[in-house]
Chains A and B, each alone.
Chain A
Amino acid sequence: MNRIPEFQNTKEWYLSSFRKFEEKLNGESKSFLHDLRKEALAQLAEVDFPTTRDEEWKYTSVSPILKQNFIPAFNIDKQNVTKEGIKKYFFSGFDFYTMTFINGIYSEELSDLQNLQKGVTVNSLSKLLRSNPKVISEQITKFVKTENAFNLLNRVYSTDGAVVIVPDGVIVEKPIQILFLNGHNDKLVLSIPHNLIVAGKNSQVSIITNYSALNSSVYFSNIITEVFAGESSIVDLYKIQNENDNSFHYEKVEAHQLKKSIFNHYNFTFGGEIVRNDINSTLDDENIETHYYGLYLGKGNQHIDNHTFVDHAKPNCMSNELYKGILDNKARGVFNGKIIVRKDAQKTNAYQQNKTVLLSKTAKINTKPQLEIFADDVKCTHGATVGHLDDTAYYYIRTRGIPAELAKSMLIRAFANDVVESVKIEPLRDQLNHMIFEHLHRVEIEND
């Protein structure tokens, strides 16, 4: 079987561009990160991009992404983005620190980190590499597990990303809002931030990552986010993804949790032509809690794929997952929720729910809640439902004189509300509700 992998050329292109990239790096090519890059490059040479023959990518074809050679964003022009101009992208109504990335490269003048609490590090990866590489080298890629070609591609070319380091015992009072703006008028941009969040013992931090488009150009966001939740820490990570409908988006979140820590991940998907999220948590100590909340709204030809993986390695932990999808037009949703309870992880409680509503005849969903259990004293349940909007509820609303369109959107809002109400920041919750409503208004509603 000497089949030449599809898109071998694309891979070759990414591999061969490295030399040129290296030259432009100047002094940075001597940093420890560059050694990791070279390792990743060697690995990338060995690995093919996933195809639908791979079980993990069974329902998601990435060939539209690989048909193009994206240019890794590096030294790219700032495209006249102004502080005033980006205001509209932020969620507001509450106090927050901001970081802004244009095509994955940090922009200091567009960020606001004034009055940051003492000891808290919020900075860009590239700046820290120069000023204090040690804080990064201790953590970055420490718990990297099997990586696919996209992850490796990120690691080969990534030069920047958001770094948040919270020392022991510190509660970061304001949420940190990190805005990623992508797109370029005449270049196919590959935006590859590598983010790192480290929460020390007894610390708390809340981070909102916000992905948006500068214009309607085609680009590829390929992100890695690493989270380390120290003992008894609480980390809330929100992701609101509202890229344009021509773009491709892939993020891998790798969370590693210590004793008694709580990690909450909120994942809202609005935009993107092909979207894939890999969200992984390893519960490698006792009394850990992990919560995943997800909501995805697909329309047009969008393809939204969420893969979550909770790895219960130690006893007395609990995980809870709620993912909901609303799919219209020709949108396609994929959900794969994997829970492993390893041999020693007795007294594990793991719950998972995935609910999907199909609004059109041509929408599709593939869902696979997967449980793998090797311990006997556990409580694990998962549930998955697929259906359309409740006819009786719809009828009831209509009998109260409410027009068809409104009745429908009321039901959808009610359906989405389970996820939205889990958001802890109230103004954010309201704005999300508004976004859902807006999104639905763009959706053509059939008249009965």
Chain B
Amino acid sequence: MNEIKEKDKNPEDLSEDMKVLDDLTTSEYKWGFITDIETETVPKGLSEDVIRLISAKKHEPEWMTEWRLKSFRYWKKMEEPHWPNVQYPPIDYQDLSYYSAPRKKPLLNSLEEVDPELLKTFEKLGIPLTEQKILAGVAVDVVFDSVSVTTTFKETLKEKGIIFCSISEAIQGHPELVKKYLGSVVPYTDNYFAALNSAVFSDGSFVFIPKGVRCPMELSTYFRINASETGQFERTLIVAEEGAYVSYLEGCTAPIRDNNQLHAAVVEIVALDDAEIKYSTVQNWYPGNKEGKGGIYNFVTKRGACRGRNSKISWTQVETGSAITWKYPSCILQGDNSIGEFYSVAVTNNYQQADTGTKMIHLGKNTRSTIISKGISAGRSNNSYRGLVKIGKNADGARNFTQCDSMLMSDKCGAHTFPYIEVENESAKVEHEATTSKVGADQIFYLNQRGLATEDAINMIVNGFCKEVFNELPMEFAVEAQKLLAISLEGSVG
């Protein structure tokens, strides 16, 4: 600390500031540990047999197995896409294990019955499960690798008719709902990774909010990739019926491993008339070490359909982890007057690469969308915003506002924007703004002058830069996101 203060005596010296930035960017991944729980892993490789095996292990009905196989057959015909602005060595899909579950699947109602090893893991993760349960009133559906371990507050939600369970349970317990909505927003033919996911997805969350119900608490899931060399393929499906409301939180971490791990999830959201869904993500998968070794490949398809009139879907994401992030949470604004929102902070450091953004497809009349994207690049990382705003022929009076700002924190990183705007209706109004800049020397100087250490000054500036997005996060997440931002840029930000 003293050293830093010394440096602050000369606030005009920019290179000193850069040094502070560099010092800060060198922190190690804090969530890296491996839980030694016996896991049940299917041998490496992908074939129809493996898919049948996964399906059988999960005691799935015939139609589900068929759907998986259909997806697999389609996937085999596809080619891996390479258009994003990221580089990675080719993935050998036969060298991955497609299923990993803790050996003893505990069917528990209380936390006491949970494997103590597992609980320790969560403690290290900093999810005070017990505390959350009692104090925060958050029901957590914990996905440990691929199988849902425990679901809290299920009973409370049940009274309201809300279904919040793992997708495997939903396939068993509510097949009619799953059949109706699964693949309706992201069909298995959608893209390479969605097809792969449809074939091999292991578990995920299912949320159903019936007509007119406002979910009384925020629903939250924690994903964590544990066993090495398993791809995590979770599948999330959220449905809000007429007039329903739900806020869903998703957080992710993974332990340190040297090999890159593939994560190809699919999230589908459906909002009917007057329904509102808020989906918040804090993604903090292992980003690889300082030399760019290891880390998660996060190739995710997230899409929401505003099917009904006046429906609303809002995505908020804070992306600090993963070696490669490649995802575009999107909204299909089908219903008249529906609203889509996308708020994103993407931070990349060291050798991380992110190609992320959103798609707003306006189909209904008077549909509105807002996109606020903040990218922060540090180290040798590359951060791209890629977005599509499409106004269809019949989307009279559609309105979009997009702002994507980038901040560069080193001279070796890159910031890129690829906004696609397609307008086919004259009554539409589309605005797009983008800026790129660095942390201003004058801003740092001003804060130094007010007695703030350079480290704190940068922290404050970056937090201010991201404020618009953090404001959209639920309270608990906002606090966590700020901490995460500090940690991932520790080094870039204090």
B429 adjacent to A384 (CB under 8 Å): no
A373 adjacent to B408 (CB under 8 Å): yes
User: Which residues of chain B are within 8 angstroms of A343 by Cβ–Cβ distance?
Assistant: 411-412
Is A383 close to B, CB under 8 A?
A: yes
User: Which residues of chain B are within 8 angstroms of A375 by Cβ–Cβ distance?
Assistant: 408, 411
Which A residues from 353 to 412 make CB contacts under 8 A with B?
Answer: 356, 358-361, 363-388
Is B247 close to A, CB under 8 A?
A: no
User: Which residues of chain B are within 8 angstroms of A365 by Cβ–Cβ distance?
Assistant: 421-423
Whole-angstrom CA separation of A367 from B421 in the bound complex: 5
Is A346 close to B, CB under 8 A?
A: yes
Q: Contact string, B51-80, partner A, CB cutoff 8 A, digits 1/0?
A: 000000000000000000000000000000
Which B residues from 388 to 415 make CB contacts under 8 A with A?
Answer: 391, 393, 406, 408-415
Which A residues from 151 to 208 make CB contacts under 8 A with B?
Answer: none
User: Which residues of chain A are within 8 angstroms of B391 by Cβ–Cβ distance?
Assistant: 386
Is B88 close to A, CB under 8 A?
A: no
Instruction: Categorize the interface residue count of chain B.
Output: 35 or more
Is A55 close to B, CB under 8 A?
A: yes
Whole-angstrom CA separation of A370 from B385 in the bound complex: 10
> B416, B420, B421, B428 — which one has the most chain A CB atoms within 10 A of its CB?
B421
Whole-angstrom CA separation of A376 from B412 in the bound complex: 8
| Secondary structure call for the B interface | strand
Is B179 close to A, CB under 8 A?
A: no
Separation in Å of the A262 CB from the closest CB of chain B? 24
Whole-angstrom CA separation of A346 from B410 in the bound complex: 11
Q: Contact string, B425-444, partner A, CB cutoff 8 A, digits 1/0?
A: 11111111111111000000
Is B424 close to A, CB under 8 A?
A: yes
User: Which residues of chain A are within 8 angstroms of B430 by Cβ–Cβ distance?
Assistant: 384-387
Whole-angstrom CA separation of A371 from B406 in the bound complex: 10
Contacts A381-B435, A385-B432 given; does A374 touch B414 at CB 8 Å: yes
Is B418 close to A, CB under 8 A?
A: yes
A361 adjacent to B420 (CB under 8 Å): no
Is B353 close to A, CB under 8 A?
A: no
Contacts A371-B416, A376-B413 given; does A388 touch B427 at CB 8 Å: yes
User: Which residues of chain A are within 8 angstroms of B420 by Cβ–Cβ distance?
Assistant: 366-368
B409 adjacent to A361 (CB under 8 Å): no
The answer, among B409, B415, B428, for a CB contact under 8 Å with A371, is B415
B417 adjacent to A388 (CB under 8 Å): no
B432 adjacent to A373 (CB under 8 Å): no
Is B419 close to A, CB under 8 A?
A: yes
The answer, among A368, A374, A379, for a CB contact under 8 Å with B437, is A379
The answer, among B393, B406, B429, B435, for a CB contact under 8 Å with A386, is B429
Separation in Å of the A65 CB from the closest CB of chain B? 23
A363 adjacent to B421 (CB under 8 Å): no
Contacts A360-B426, A373-B408, A373-B415 given; does A386 touch B438 at CB 8 Å: no
Whole-angstrom CA separation of A385 from B437 in the bound complex: 22
Whole-angstrom CA separation of A382 from B83 in the bound complex: 23
B435 adjacent to A364 (CB under 8 Å): no
The answer, among A361, A369, A378, for a CB contact under 8 Å with B425, is A361
Separation in Å of the B33 CB from the closest CB of chain A? 34
Whole-angstrom CA separation of A383 from B427 in the bound complex: 19
Chain B residue at smallest Cβ distance from A59: B422
A368 adjacent to B408 (CB under 8 Å): no
Whole-angstrom CA separation of A350 from B417 in the bound complex: 14
Whole-angstrom CA separation of A385 from B431 in the bound complex: 4
> B393, B417, B433 — which one has the most chain A CB atoms within 10 A of its CB?
B417
Chain B residue at smallest Cβ distance from A359: B426
Whole-angstrom CA separation of A358 from B396 in the bound complex: 13
The answer, among A55, A366, A368, A388, for a CB contact under 8 Å with B426, is A388
User: Which residues of chain B are within 8 angstroms of A366 by Cβ–Cβ distance?
Assistant: 420-423
User: Which residues of chain B are within 8 angstroms of A346 by Cβ–Cβ distance?
Assistant: 411
Which B residues from 339 to 393 make CB contacts under 8 A with A?
Answer: 391, 393
B432 adjacent to A369 (CB under 8 Å): yes
Whole-angstrom CA separation of A343 from B433 in the bound complex: 23
Chain B residue at smallest Cβ distance from A336: B420
Contacts A358-B425, A367-B421, A373-B406 given; does A383 touch B433 at CB 8 Å: yes
Chain A residue at smallest Cβ distance from B384: A372
Whole-angstrom CA separation of A374 from B431 in the bound complex: 25
User: Which residues of chain A are within 8 angstroms of B436 by Cβ–Cβ distance?
Assistant: 371, 373, 378-381
The answer, among A356, A369, A378, for a CB contact under 8 Å with B417, is A369
Whole-angstrom CA separation of A382 from B393 in the bound complex: 26
B432 adjacent to A376 (CB under 8 Å): no
The answer, among B83, B415, B416, for a CB contact under 8 Å with A55, is B83
User: Which residues of chain B are within 8 angstroms of A369 by Cβ–Cβ distance?
Assistant: 417, 419, 432, 434
User: Which residues of chain A are within 8 angstroms of B412 by Cβ–Cβ distance?
Assistant: 343
Whole-angstrom CA separation of A120 from B360 in the bound complex: 55
Q: List 5 A-B residue pairs with CB atoms under 8 Å apart, sorted by A's residue number.
A: A371-B416, A372-B417, A376-B410, A381-B434, A383-B431
What 6 A-B pairs are tightest by C-beta distance, nearest first?
A358-B426, A376-B408, A384-B432, A386-B430, A380-B436, A387-B429
List 18 additional contacts besides A360-B426, A367-B420, A387-B429; criterion CB under 8 Å: A358-B425, A358-B426, A364-B422, A364-B424, A367-B421, A367-B423, A370-B419, A371-B436, A372-B416, A373-B414, A375-B411, A376-B410, A377-B411, A379-B435, A379-B436, A381-B435, A384-B432, A386-B428
